[in-house]
Structure 1
């Protein structure tokens, strides 16, 4: 998860052309946390992973790098 999650999160966010702040507000997280996740500075716990996967309508396994396809 260390490598895939930050890249996939940023890619999904940028595809929707949204800011970190907007994503954070929609998922109950701060823009700073989203930034830390995308830079790989912090690993999320289960609740934020589920919230982000639900928002982007992707499987948790895809978001954390255990599945390579949608």
Structure 2
């Protein structure tokens, strides 16, 4: 599935797909396929992205507009 917030947060931080791929330890082609929805995101990959940008996984998955993690 394609999630617009993942691409947006990457672009908002002036990062290339190649840079993100390196952070996630995957090829640029694999990252591109994640971003375009050709392959499904794994939970561990989503967590790495959320931790890197200090946002919630729910935000990455377009489940909320609130970027910050709620610590209850």
TM over 0.5: yes
Q: TM-score, normalised by structure 1?
A: 0.82
Which has the larger Rg?
2
Whether the aligned pair in 2 keeps the contact of 1:10 and 1:38 (CA below 8 Å) is yes
Higher fraction of helix: 1
Match of 1:35 in 2: 32
Match of 1:25 in 2: 22
Name the Cα RMSD after superposition. Answer: 1.3
**Aligned residue for 1:9?**
6
Q: Does structure 2 retain, via aligned residues, the 8 Å contact 1:27–1:55? A: no
Whole-angstrom CA distance in 2 between matches of 1:39 and 1:58: 21
Unaligned runs of 5+ in 1: none
Aligned residues: 67
TM-score (norm 2): 0.80
